[in-house]
Amino acid sequence: MNELNGIGSRNLTLLTDFYELTMANGYLANGYENTIAYFDMFFRKVPNQGGFALMAGVQQVVDYLKGLTFTEEDIDYLRSTGIFNERFLEYLRSFAFACDIWAIPEGTPIFPGEPIVTVRGPVIQAQLIETMILLTINHQSLIATKANRIVRAAEGRAVMEFGSRRAQGPDGAVYGARAAYIGGCVGTACTICDREYQIPALGTMAHSWVQLFDSELDAFRAYAREYPSACMLLVDTYNVLKSGVPNAIKIFKEEIVPRGFRPAGIRIDSGDITYLSKKARKMLDEAGFPDCKICASNSLDEYIIRDMLIQGAKVDSFGVGERLITASPEPVFGGVYKLAAVEDKDENVIPKIKISENVSKITTPCFKKIWRLFDRETGKAIADVLTLHEEVIDDTKPYEIFDPEHVWKRKTVTNFRAVCIQEKIFEKGKCLVEEKSLKEIKEYCAAQVGTLWDEVTRFENPHQYYVDLSQKLWDVKDGLLKEHNTNQKI
């Protein structure tokens, strides 16, 4: 990949919070350099009060970790700060990534509280990579989740990502388009994404094209002659119903059909698109073009699209820009990275917990696995269960799940299939996975979203999908809470 959008082609080792480095320096000074630590990345709530989110950005984490090394330029800069000791700088000079990492595959539905990434390794290394893991997964998971909401609102109609010019910088545009494609968009206006990721580049004309010519008719004619096999005309530069659509019909008859093609469509980018699309549809049908598609754009999101379709809009596809690429109105995913355990000198795993008066901020300790339970009859996901890493859920027997916040809420699950949904992607610093095509990830994503009940996927007041703890894991967490409470002085 080129320098614009390839994490692996740039030295981003210092794209880390400064305190990661000061802590690393301190760990070394205090003899913790060989301490093995376990960190979990998880998030606390789904954006837009939705029922689920989508995992994305794992490949960029992989690319980053493959190239993780400190250059002499990096070390010279750190020395210039006057903060870091020479022993630490020498440690960085010979730095070799050696962590184990588990991650939920891209395109998988994910839920609050579960470790979507787990890192095990020397605490200095596991700490240093926190920022990039959070940056990458938070951004792309946010956009993939938003895109999927918009795609579901479109009810099978194509959604195109049109947000490059509204994105927060080049990487926001490129990786945002990547995530949007995973979430279900059919293509992007961002040309470089076609070259780099084979995401179909889509687009026709801007209003400036129409304005440049002496008349709208002249502009349409020139475009039709240049692109007869893919002629989609922007009809709202002046007046959709009085000039735009009539001129489009005239050009279709005079320039497209005689050349043996059919018109690709028209695009409406302003006004009351619901009303205009109904009128335009009637005009196109009466003119003999029932196969001519109508595309809508103009600051759309899932709610506007849903309402347009409820009101009978005759729209076949949607171009969605700023509210997709920025995930408006909630442009933060909120994933965090917390210590879950450490190993002692005998390699025993010692659980660690962060406690808060805010219940949602109390972490779940231990080295864990995530199991997704599927109903064997319907194929639908029932719940996720976090267990100790050595635990195995035997899906040949009934299994009791319970709400970890309201432990009296219990249910015995039968006739289910238990699947461990994390996969190991690094072992002792060596990458274990090959890059998948985005098309493959997109198809996987659609299939996995299909395993969720409609009640979980609805936009308003979705059913809460439970992420439960095994009894053994709950006992450890409860024990640490009680121990902490006993040791507190009032």
CB proximity list for 361: less than 8 A, separation 6 or greater: 44, 354
Question: Is the per-residue pLDDT at 3 higher than 50?
Answer: no
Query: Cβ contacts of residue 91 below 8 Å, gap of 6+?
Result: 28, 33, 124
Per-residue confidence band for 1, with pLDDT thresholds at 50, 70 and 90: very low
User: 178 CB contacts (<8 Å, ≥6 apart)?
Assistant: 56, 140, 193, 197, 199, 438
- Provide the 3-class DSSP secondary structure of residue 431: strand
pLDDT tier, 488 (very low <50, low <70, confident <90, very high otherwise): low
Please give the backbone phi and psi of residue 192, each rounded to the nearest 5 degrees, phi first.
-60, -25
Answer whether residue 8 shows pLDDT above 80. Answer: no
DSSP state for residue 320 in the 8-state scheme:
E
Q: How far apart are CA 191 and CA 174, in angstroms?
A: 9
| Distances, alpha carbon 489 to alpha carbons 355, 357, 448, 479, in Å | 15, 16, 48, 18
Could you read off the pLDDT of 277-305 as tens digits, one per residue? Answer: 999 999 999 999 999 999 999 999 999 99
For residues 200 and 181, the answer to whether their CB atoms sit within 8 Å is no
Nearest Cα to Cα of residue 150 among 140, 141, 161, 139: 161
Give tens-digit pLDDT for 124-154.
999 999 999 999 999 999 999 999 999 999 9
Q: Where in the chain is the domain with CATH 3.20.20.70?
A: 144-325
Query: DSSP secondary structure string, 142-199?
Result: HHHHHHHHHHHHTTTSEEEE--GGGSSHHHHHHHHHHHHHHHT--EES-HHHHHHH-P
Q: What is the pTM of this model?
A: 0.95
Return the pLDDT at 486: 73
CB contact set of 430 (below 8 Å; sequence gap of 6+): none
335-343 and 36-43 beta bridge pairing: antiparallel
Instruction: Name the phi and psi angles at 56, rounded to 5.
Output: -155, 160
Gap between the Cα atoms of 20 and 23, Å rounded: 5
Q: Quick check: helix, strand or coil at residue 101? A: strand
Is domain 7-143+331-487 annotated with CATH 3.40.50.620? no
User: Under a CB-based contact definition with an 8 Å cutoff, are residues 252 and 263 in contact?
Assistant: yes
Residues of the chain with CATH 3.20.140.10: 7-143+331-487
CA separation for the pair 396, 415 (Å, rounded) = 8
Q: In the predicted model, is pLDDT for residue 7 greater than 50?
A: no
User: Measured at the alpha carbon of residue 171, what is the angle toward residues 232 and 446, in degrees to the nearest 5?
Assistant: 60
Residue partners of 201: CB distance under 8 A and separation at least 6 = 187, 188, 189, 190, 191, 193, 194
Spatial CA neighbour of 178 closest among 467, 441, 399, 407: 441
Q: Where are the beta strands (DSSP E) in 304-380?
A: 317-320, 335-343, 349-351, 368-375
- The architecture of the domain spanning 144-325 is Alpha-Beta Barrel (3.20)
Query: What percent of the chain shows pLDDT beyond 70?
Result: 97
| Tokens matching residue 192 | 């470089």
pLDDT at residue number 490: 47
- Banded pLDDT at 4 (limits 50, 70, 90): very low
pLDDT of residue 489: 54
User: Which residue is listed with tokens 């922007």?
Assistant: 234
In this prediction, residues 230-252 reach a mean pLDDT of 98
DSSP-assigned beta bridge partners for residue 119? 39, 101
pLDDT at 10 over 90: no
The pLDDT tens digits for 16-65 are 999 999 999 999 999 999 999 999 999 999 999 999 999 999 999 999 99
> Is the model's pLDDT at 405 over the cut of 90?
no
